Amino acid sequence: MKMPVPDSVVIARRREIVEALRAIVPGEGVIVDENELRAYECDGLTAYRQLPMVAVLPSTVEQVSQVLKTCKAMGVKVVPRGAGTSLSGGALPLADGVLLGMGKFKRILDIDYANRCVTVQPGVTNLGISNAVAHEGFYYAPDPSSQIACTIGGNIAENSGGVHCLKYGLTTNNVLGLEMVLMDGTVIRLGGKHLDAGGYDLMGIVTGSEGLLGVVTEVTVRILKKPATARAVLLGFPSSEQGGDCVAAIIAAGIIPGGMEMMDRPAIHAAEAFVHAGYPLDVEALLIVELDGPAAEVDHLIDRVEAIARDKGACYARVSKSEEERLAFWAGRKAAFPAVGRISPDYYCMDGTIPRKALPLVLQRMQEMSDRCGLRVANVFHAGDGNLHPLILYDANKPGELEAAEAFGNDILRLCVEVGGVLTGEHGVGVEKRDLMTDQFDEADLQQQQRLKCAFDPDGLLNPGKVFPTLHRCAELGRLHVHQGELRFPDIPRF
Amino acid sequence: MTITTLKPESAVQAVDAVRWALSAGEPLEILGSGSRRGLGRPVQAGHALDLSGLSGVIAYEPEELVLTALAGTPMDMIRSMLAERGQHLAFEPPEGGTLGGLVASGLAGPRRISAGSARDHTLGIAGISGRAEAYKGGGKVVKNVTGYDVPKLMAGSFGTLTALTEITVKVLPAPEDTATLLLFGLDDAAAVAMLDRALRSPYEVSGAAHLPAGIAARSGTSAVAGAGGAVTLVRLEGFGPSVAARGTMLREELRADSVLGRDESRAVWREVRDGVGLGVGSDAQLWKLSVPPSAGPSTVEAIRRTLDVEAFYDWGGGLVWLTAPPDSGTAIRSALSAGGHATLVRAPEAARVATDVFQPLPEPLMALSRRVKESFDPKGILNPGRMYAGL
C-alpha cells in the first residue's frame, strides 16, 4: 500500500506553513512537537502509521474556513480527523499534510423534540447524542460498535452503520442537515430540520465521502423514540447453510428484526470463553434475532421466528425472559472482537457485504483460503443485510504474517465482489481497500466519482491517497474527446 | 419543441444516442414514459431520448430485499411483481411512470417520515453521463459504503446528471395490516401539535396528516368527508396484533374520535399521497413546501397574510400542499423563515418558465451545483434547464 510521494518542497516550507496556521489558530491549537503529534499518527487501522507535518485544532467554523483557504492558497494537503476510530485508515496522516482535528467541536447546539431532531457540532460522540435525549425516551439510531468514542462528524464521513441498521438505516438515512466547509474556505449549508434538502442531494454524496469533499462543522440528525420493548432469541444450527436459510425465511415472512447477527463456530467459542454468555458450543452457526417494538408485536413475532427456526432445522432455541438475559445474549456478540483478540496476538477485521444467499459458498471458500495460508478466521455477520466481518487471526511478530493476513483479507473482499457483493458495508474504503476499488468498479465508474471530487476540491488537496487507487488531475479528468460528425447511428429508432 | 425522439432498444444504443448528441451539440430531453414532464421547468431541447424501450426486471430476490430493473420498466409492473411476494417500495411513491422517472424525480409519499424517500431506497445505478460514458455507481446489496453514494445524487436530479439505464432498489415487506385514527374539528396549529404527540409516542406512526374542513369534505372516504369539519389522520401499520395493540393505546392517548380499518385506511392515504385533489379543475397552481414540522401552520399563516391559498399538511406538518394564484413564488418563499423549501409541482408551461420551480439556492450552493452538473455533463446536453435555468 503506497501513499502519494510526500512533496519535499512543501515539507521544506513547514515553518512558513506553521506560522500561517498560528496566525489563524492561536496558542496550543497548532501542534508541531513530535511527541504530541504521535497521538495522531494512526487511526483504528493501526498497521499504518505516519506522523503529520503539523496538526491544527480549530475551535470555530471561521478558523476551519481560514485553515482550508490558507492551505489551498499554499498548495498544502489536509487530512480531516474526528476521534480517529476509522477501521480503514480514513484519517491516516500525510508526511506533507496538515492534520485538521475537529475534537474541539464538542457542543450540542439544539435539542428540538417538536421536530424530533438534534443539532450538534461534529466532535460530539455518537453515544453523546443518544445520552442527551435519553431522559425523554429518545435515541439516535445508528450505533457503530465504537459509539462511545466515535464522533458524529466521523460518522458522516464514513456513513457509519451498526447492528440495527437493517431496520433503522445507516447514518445517511438519519441525517437531516449539514454545515460544511469546502477546501476553498466556502461555508455551505445543506438541508436543515425539514426533509429533503432542495436541489441536488449533496448531503447524500457528502455522507460517506471519507473526508474527501469537505469538512463538516455542524450536523442535524433525526432522533427516534425508543422501542417500548426488545426481546431476543438465540438460535443454534448444525450448519451455517441452515442458519442462512433461517435468516432468508424470516425476511420472506415479512419480518425485519431490529438486529439479526450470526456467528460461526470459532467466533462462538471465542466469545463464550471470554464472557460466558451461555452460548451452545455444539452448533456451527449461532443466530441472535432481536425483535423490538410494542410488546404485543414483539411477542407475536418471537413466536413466528421460533416456528421458522424449528422449520429450518434449528437445534437450539432460547428466548430471552428478562432484560438481563437479552443483554447477556448480546454480550457475547458485542465482545466478539476482543474475544478473538484473546485467542490470537492480533486480528484483522474485514467488512464485505454479500448477497445473503452466497453465505455458504463464501464461508466454504474462505475456509479453503484459510487452510491454504495457514491463518485461522472467525466470522461475525450482520446476517440481515449480508454484511460479513471475517476476523483473520495472525501474529504481527512473526515475519510475513501481517502481509499474509492482508493478502488473505484482500482475497476475501475480492470474493465478496465476485459473488455480487461489495468491498465494504460500513467501515469505508480509506487506504485499506483503496487498491481493491478496481475489482468492484471499472475505470469509467472511478473516473466519474473523481470528477465529482473535482467539483468540491479541484486541486485534490483534501485527504488525497484515500478511496481512489489512482490520482488524476482534474484537468485531465475533465478533458472531453468529441469527434464532430464522426458518428452515425442508423440503428437507433427515431420518430 | 421536441423535433426528433431517439428510442434506443439497449443501453449500448442509448450510449450511441448520447454520443451523437454530444458530438452534434444537441441537448436531449430524457424521458421514461413522460408522465412527469409537467414537473420541473420545460427542457429546452430539440431532441428527446426516450428510454421506455429499456424495460424489464433483471433480478428480483425478495429474501435479499433487492430488485434490479432497466430504468424504463413501468412502475405498475414492478408494483404488481412486488405485491405478489408481499413486498413494496416503502417510500410510498405515487403511481405510474417508470422506475427511472421515479428515481430521477425523487418522490415519496406519506411514509416519508418513517421510511425515507426515493434516495434512501436507491442502492445502485447504471447510466450514461453527458460525456457519453456508460458508468455505474453504488451496488446491488442493501448495505454498501464503497465509494461515493452516487445513487443518492441521482435521486431527484431530474435527469440532469445522467441518463439512467438500470437501477437497483431496496424493497421491503409490505405491512400486513393498517389502521388510521381520526381526530375531528382541530384547527391547523392544534392538529399539528396532536400529530407531534403521535410522532413522539413509541407507537411507530407511519402517516401523520391534517386536512382542513374544505379539503376533508372532498375526500372519497366517507368517514373523512362526512366528518363535517377538519380531519386529522394518524396511521399505524404492521402485523395485525401489533396494529391492534398500538391502535388501542394511541387512540386513548390522543382521544381520537374514530378509527379507519384496513381498506378505508389504504384508500385515504392514497388520496393524501396524491394531494386529495387539491387545485384540480381550477387555475390555481399547486405547491409543495418542505418545512420543519412544527413550523407548518405558522408558515401557512404567514403566506395567508398576502395570498389567498388552500392548504393541507402531511409528514406531521413538515409537508404543506398548497394552491396559490399565479406568480406567488416570491411571496411563498419569503414565508419560509423557519427554513425549508418550496416547489411548484403543477402549473402551466409558461408559468414553469417564468417562476423558479425549485427553490433558488444560495450562491455558494448554486456554484457548487453547477460544478457538480459539469462533472457529469460538461456540455449541458442532459435535460438542460429542467431544474434551474442554465443548469
Contact state of A445 with B148 under an 8 Å Cβ cutoff? no
Q: What is the pLDDT of residues A290-311, one digit of tens each?
A: 999 999 999 999 999 999 999 9
What's the per-residue H, E or C state across chain B? Answer: CCCEEECCCCHHHHHHHHHHHHHHCCCEEEECCCCCCCCCCCCCCCEEEEHHHCCCEEEEEHHHCEEEEECCCEHHHHHHHHHHCCEECCCCCCCCCEHHHHHHHCCCCCCHHHHCCHHHHEEEEEEEECCCCEEEEECCCCCCCCCCCHHHHHCCCCCCCEEEEEEEEECEECCCEEEEEEEECCCHHHHHHHHHHHHHCCCCEEEEEEECHHHHCCCCCHHHHCCCCCEEEEEEEECHHHHHHHHHHHHHHHCCCEEECHHHHHHHHHHHHCCCCCCCCCCCEEEEEECCHHHHHHHHHHHHCCCCCEEEEEHHHCEEEEEECCCCHHHHHHCCCCCCEEEEEECCHHHHHHCCCCCCCCHHHHHHHHHHHHHHCCCCCECCCCCCCCC
> Which residues in chain B have Cβ-Cβ distances shorter than 8 Å to A208?
145, 148-149
Q: Which fold has domain A344-434?
A: Alpha-Beta Plaits (3.30.70)
Greater pLDDT, A355 or A197: A355
Distance set, CA B103 to CA B119, B173, B241 (Å): 7, 20, 34
Q: Which residues of A touch B63 (CB under 8 A)?
A: 248-249, 251-252, 356-357
- Which one of B142, B147, B249 has the shortest CB-CB distance to A385? B142
3-state secondary structure of A429: coil
Please state, rounded to an integer, the average pLDDT across all residues of chain A: 94
Contact A120, A149 (CB under 8 A): no
User: Does the ipTM exceed 0.95?
Assistant: yes
Contact B143 A385 (CB under 8 A): yes
CB contact under 8 A, B146 and A437: yes
CB A384, CB A247: distance < 8 Å: yes
Region A131-137 average pLDDT: 97
Closest residue of chain A to B238, computed from CA coordinates: A297
Per-residue pLDDT for A276 more than 80? yes
What the block records as the C-alpha cell of B382 is 442532459
Measured distance CA(A476)–CA(B325) in Å, rounded? 50
Locate the chain B residue with the closest alpha carbon to A162. B143
Alpha carbon distance, N-terminus to C-terminus of chain A = 53
Q: How far is CA A482 from CA B161, B371, B374, B379, in A?
A: 18, 20, 16, 11
- CA angle (A64, A66, A67) in 5-degree steps: 65
Show which of residues 40-69 on chain A sit within 8 Å of chain B, judged by CB atoms: none
Provide the pLDDT confidence category of residue B5 given band limits of 50, 70 and 90. Answer: very high
**Residue B57 or A485, more confident:** B57
Please judge whether A194 and B318 are an interchain contact, meaning their C-beta atoms are less than 8 angstroms apart: yes
Tens of pLDDT, residue by residue over B343-390, are 999 999 999 999 899 999 999 999 999 999 999 999 999 999 999 998
- To the nearest whole Å, the CA of B226 is away from the closest chain A CA by 31
Distance from CA of A229 to the nearest CA of B (A): 10
Q: How confident is the model at residue A87 (pLDDT cuts 50, 70, 90)?
A: very high
Contacts of B292 in chain A (CB under 8 A): 112, 115, 192-194
Of B22, B146, B201, the CB nearest to A429: B146
Task: Provide, as residue numbers in chain A, all residues whose Cβ is less than 8 Å from the Cβ of B72.
Answer: none
CB < 8 Å to A299, chain B:
241
**CA of A494 vs chain B CAs: smallest distance (Å):** 5
Q: Give the tens place of pLDDT for each residue, B288-337.
A: 999 999 999 999 999 999 999 999 999 999 999 999 999 999 999 999 99
| Res. A164 pLDDT band, cuts 50 70 90 | confident
| pLDDT for position B365 | 97
Q: Which residue of A has its CA nearest to B371?
A: A455
Give the chain A residue nearest B247 (alpha carbons). A294
**How much of chain A exceeds pLDDT 90, in percent?**
90
Which of the four CATH numbers 1.10.10.10, 3.40.1020.10, 3.30.70.3450, 3.20.20.140 does domain A229-337 have?
3.30.70.3450
Mark yes or no for CB contact B149/A429 under 8 Å.
Answer: no
| Chain-chain contact of A196 with B239 (C-beta, under 8 angstroms) | no
Confidence category of residue A491, pLDDT binned at 50, 70, 90: low
Residue of B nearest to A196 (CA): B290
- Residues A383, A79: Cα–Cα separation, whole Å: 34
CATH number, span A8-101: 3.30.43.10
Q: Which pLDDT score is estimated for B35?
A: 95
Q: Taking residues A76-86, what's their average pLDDT? A: 97
How many angstroms from the chain centroid is the CA of residue A294?
30
A248 contact residues in B (CB cutoff 8 A): 63
> What's the pLDDT score for residue A323?
93
B371 → closest Cβ in A255, A455, A492: A455
Find the distance separating the first CA and the last CA of chain B, reported in whole Å. 19
A-B Cβ pairs (cutoff 8 Å, strict): 314
B330, three cell numbers? 416570491
Interface residue A159 vs chain B (CB under 8 A): yes
pLDDT band at A322 (very low <50, low <70, confident <90, very high): very high
The domain spans of chain A are 8-101, 108-225, 229-337, 344-434
* Model confidence pLDDT, tens digit, residues B178-234: 999 999 999 999 999 999 999 999 999 999 999 999 999 999 999 999 999 999 999
The CATH number of the structural domain formed by B285-354 is 3.30.70
Contact residues, A window 361-390, toward B, CB-based 8 Å cutoff: 382, 385-387
CB contact under 8 A, A482 and B23: yes
Q: Which residue of chain A is at minimal alpha-carbon distance from B159?
A: A200
Domains A229-337 and A344-434 share a fold: yes
Beta bridge partners of B272: none
Look at residue A485 in the predicted model and tell me its pLDDT.
54
Residue A57, min C-alpha distance to chain B (Å):
25
Query: Nearest C-alpha of chain B: how many angstroms from A134?
Result: 13
A217 touches chain B (CB under 8 A): no
Nearest to B134 among A194, A420, A444 (CB): A444
User: Which residue, among A99, A94, A90, A156, has the nearest Cα to A431 in the 3D structure?
Assistant: A90
CATH class of A108-225: alpha beta
Q: Is the pLDDT of residue B1 over 90?
A: no
Q: How confident is the model at residue A489 (pLDDT cuts 50, 70, 90)?
A: low
pLDDT of residue A370: 96
Q: Is the pTM of this model over 0.95?
A: yes
Residues of chain B with pLDDT > 70: what percent?
Answer: 99
pLDDT tier for residue A345 given thresholds of 50, 70 and 90: very high
Task: For residue B20, give the chain A residue with the closest CA.
Answer: A487
Q: What is the mean pLDDT of residues A130-146?
A: 95
Q: What is the pLDDT of residue B283?
A: 85
> Mean pLDDT score of chain B, rounded to an integer?
96
Q: What CATH architecture is B4-173?
A: 2-Layer Sandwich (3.30)
How far, in Å, CA of A467 to CA of B186, rounded? 53
Decide if A109 contacts A121 (C-beta within 8 A). yes
- Cβ of B23 within 8 Å of Cβ of A423? The answer is no
For residue A156, name the pLDDT band (cuts at 50, 70, 90). Answer: very high
Residue A424 and residue B174: Cβ atoms within 8 Å? no
Query: How much of chain B, in percent, has pLDDT values that exceed 90?
Result: 97
B145, B147, B291 member nearest A158 (Cβ): B145
Q: Looking at residue A487, what is its pLDDT? A: 53
Establish if A459 touches chain B: CB-CB under 8 angstroms: no
Contacts of B333 in chain A (CB under 8 A): none
Give the position of cell 508526511: A95
Contacts of A455 in chain B (CB under 8 A): 368, 371-372, 374-375
Pairing of strands B4-6, B47-50: parallel
Nearest CA in chain B to A226: B202
Q: What are the chain A neighbours of B161 within 8 Å (beta carbons)?
A: 200
Residue of A nearest to B135 (CA): A445
State in words which class domain B177-273 has. alpha beta
Nearest CA of chain A to the CA of B149: how many Å? 5
Write the residue in A165, A187, A487 that is nearest to B20 by C-beta. Answer: A487
C-alpha cell at A23: 496566525
Instruction: For residue A389, give how far its alpha carbon lies from the nearest alpha carbon of chain B (Å).
Output: 13
Res A334: pLDDT: 86
Q: What is the pLDDT of residues B88-116, one digit of tens each?
A: 999 999 999 999 999 999 999 999 999 99
H helix runs in A253-393, sequence order: 265-275, 295-311, 323-334, 336-343, 359-373
Contacts of B22 in chain A (CB under 8 A): 480, 482
Task: Report the amino acid identity of residue A386.
Answer: G
Could you report the per-residue pLDDT of A200-256, keeping only the tens digit for each?
999 999 999 999 999 999 999 999 999 999 999 999 999 988 999 999 999 999 999
H/E stretch holding A233: strand A229-237
Q: What is the pLDDT of residue A392?
A: 96
Task: Please give the residue of chain A at the shortest CA–CA distance from B242.
Answer: A297
Cα distance between residue B70 and residue B298, in whole Å: 43
pLDDT category of residue A162 using cuts at 50, 70 and 90? confident
Residues 6+ apart with CB under 8 A from A490: none
Nearest one of A190, A189, A161 to A174, comparing CA atoms: A161
The predicted structure's pLDDT at residue A484 = 61
What is d(CA B208, CA B190) in angstroms, rounded to the nearest whole number? Answer: 13
Cβ within 8 Å, pair B16-A489? yes
pLDDT at B358: 97
